[in-house]
Chain A
Amino acid sequence: MAKIGAGKITVEAIKNLFHKPATMKYLGKGTAKIEIKYRGRIQYDPANCIDCLLCMRDCPTGALQIINKGTKENREMKAVLNIGHCIFCCQCVDSCNKKCLTYSQDIDFARTNKADLTVEL
């Protein structure tokens, strides 16, 4: 049982003077590594999409929009995501039965214009 006294953290504080700081860079050269399965930007593959809209139904915020620009026989699918509203829960990825949606590790979302927040996937 150590004695009670003041300044118990002195030794560690002086040792830390000679260590590298624990601060890491964020975005840019020398950034810390992002984990492999980190939930970042959603990616869409229109080849298998059957326009069932289950992903849109299960999205908590309504950020995802699936649009069919063609007809029911010749589908031309397009997906539009509002990255301001998206909470990156990836429930759309789980809900899709045809595995059209996946997620990447891209986390660079800052834009200077609010209109730029609606991106096409």
Chain B
Amino acid sequence: MSDNGKNLVVIPIGPQHPSLDEPGCFTITLEGEKVVNAIIGVGYNHRGLEKACESRNYYQDLYIIERVCGICSHTHSTAFCMAVEELAGLTVPPRAEYIRVIVAELERLHSHLLWLGIACHEIGYDTMFMYTWRNREKVLDILAAIGGNRVNYGVNTFGGVRRDFDGTISSAILKTADALEDEIKHYLDIATTETTLMSRLVGIGRLSREDVIKFGAVGPVARAAGIMDDIRVVEPYGAYKEIEVHAVTDTRADVYGRTVVRILEMLESLNIIRYCIKNLPDGIIAVKAPRRVPAGEAIIRVEAPRGEDIHYVRANGTDMPDRVRVRAPSEANWHGMKHMLEGGYLADVPITIAAIDPCYSCTDRAVVIRSGNDTEIMDWMGLREYSINWYKKQGVDISALKL
């Protein structure tokens, strides 16, 4: 306890704390109950997986990349597979694309249900926590029937998917989707009318539209501030090029807005799953992929449950990648956290941290910053100018793209 004339108390939240699922250290300086300073410390979950990927072949790396995160595992493996398929020039068959989308939307469903439970637990509403996790079990049973495991379902392989499913699983999926729709509408009703819940969520953790652009937040955090930042709509990939996705935005820009966005996204996921099952094309589920991937670079972005997930793969013609870089969405959302925490109360700290849906394992990468004579610092606009000029030299004009 430090006392420097103004009665400031420094309280550590973490690395072990009942409100954090994974280790992270937040050093909060309090004046009474108000937060005046917050220092964010992440990095406890660094595993060196980008380096590990460089000394293993592509088939081994597929499973390492899948285990970057336990909850958004399918999106990471989809992005990696899409990068390698682009480098090797493979065309994925349509049935495989649709199966990938079905699994991705089921994953979004179970991830948002998990988030809803954790958010209710952070504010002390344990009953909703138990109910949402009970319903999440139904989704996990479906995923185990399709993929073979409840999390880290290894459905993807280079050139398509590994598992096919038949009519019994399709009808089980449709039955579960109907049961879940009633439950999720009930949660929306509770979230919009329960006074004790709303008094803990409304007006907390505000990140306005300008701040979202300044700090570069993605996913439901940006969508709650009114920015249409859904990769399935902005730059469709895979089967999303044929499916119409109604992305959800809200204007409240606080924790309550993020809650409403996530619940409405769950309802939209159910619609997408139903459409995909009805229109599932026939055919093979995978094409053969080469062992040695031709040299080149690929950048792929997909829409994970938490936001925009970017993968970069550089191949050099052998059967091991040269460099793999994973930029998970949680990495982009941490920058606005200090701004959101300061000015609030201690009781709002756990729910504000939980509202960006942090995945500490996704976040932790190591970046080497070198300074010296041949380096310069660019701001956002300078970087955009630099990239437009670079692409003009290659013969591509991208200056018409809006930010």
CA A37 – CA B147 in complex, angstroms? 8
Which of A44-52, A56-64, A112-120 lies on the face that meets chain B? A56-64
Residue from B60, B148, B194 within 8 A of A8 (CB atoms): B194
Contacts of A87 in B (CB 8 A): 63, 67, 152
Contact B196–A6 (Cβ < 8 Å): yes
Residue A65 interfacial (CB < 8 Å): no
Chain B residues with Cβ below 8 Å from A6 are: 194-196
Residues of B within 8 A of A13 (CB): 127
Closest chain B CB from A8 CB (angstroms): 5
Chain B neighbourhood of A2, CB < 8 A: 189, 192-193
Provide the residues of chain B in CB contact with A9, threshold 8 Å: 127-128, 190, 194
* Residues on the B chain within 8 Å of A8, using CB: 189-190, 193-194
In this assembly, does B111 line the interface, its C-beta being within 8 Å of a C-beta of chain A? no
Q: Report the minimal beta-carbon distance from B51 to chain A, rounded to whole angstroms.
A: 15
Contacts of A89 in B (CB 8 A): 63, 154
- The answer to whether A37 and B195 touch across the interface, beta carbons within 8 angstroms, is no
Contact residues in A for B196 (Cβ distance below 8 Å): 6
A9 and B152 CA atoms in complex are apart in Å by 33
Interface-centre pick from A4, A60, A90 (highest chain B CB count, 10 A): A60
Q: Which of B65-115 contact A (CB under 8 A)?
A: 67
A36 pairs with B145, CB closer than 8 A: yes
Known: A2-B193, A9-B190, A35-B141. A95 touches B198 (CB 8 A): no
Chain B, 157-172, CB within 8 A of any chain A CB: 157, 162-163
Q: Does B39 sit at the interface, judged by CB under 8 A?
A: no
Q: Tell me the residues in window 108-165 of chain B with beta carbons closer than 8 Å to chain A beta carbons.
A: 127-128, 131, 134, 137, 141, 144-145, 148-149, 152, 154, 157, 162-163
**With a CB–CB cut-off of 8 A, which chain A residues contact B157?**
94
Most B C-beta atoms less than 10 A away, residue of A4, A7, A22, A89: A89
- Please state if B195 and A4 are interface contacts (CB–CB under 8 Å): yes
Q: How far is the CA of A58 from the CA of B195 in the complex (A)?
A: 55
Residue of B nearest to A22 (CB): B134
When A9-B127, A89-B154 are in contact, do A3 and B193 touch as well, CB less than 8 Å? yes
- Taking Cβ atoms with an 8 Å cutoff, the residues of B that contact A are 56-57, 59-64, 67, 127-128, 131, 134, 137, 141, 144-145, 148-149, 152, 154, 157, 162-163, 186, 189-190, 192-196, 198
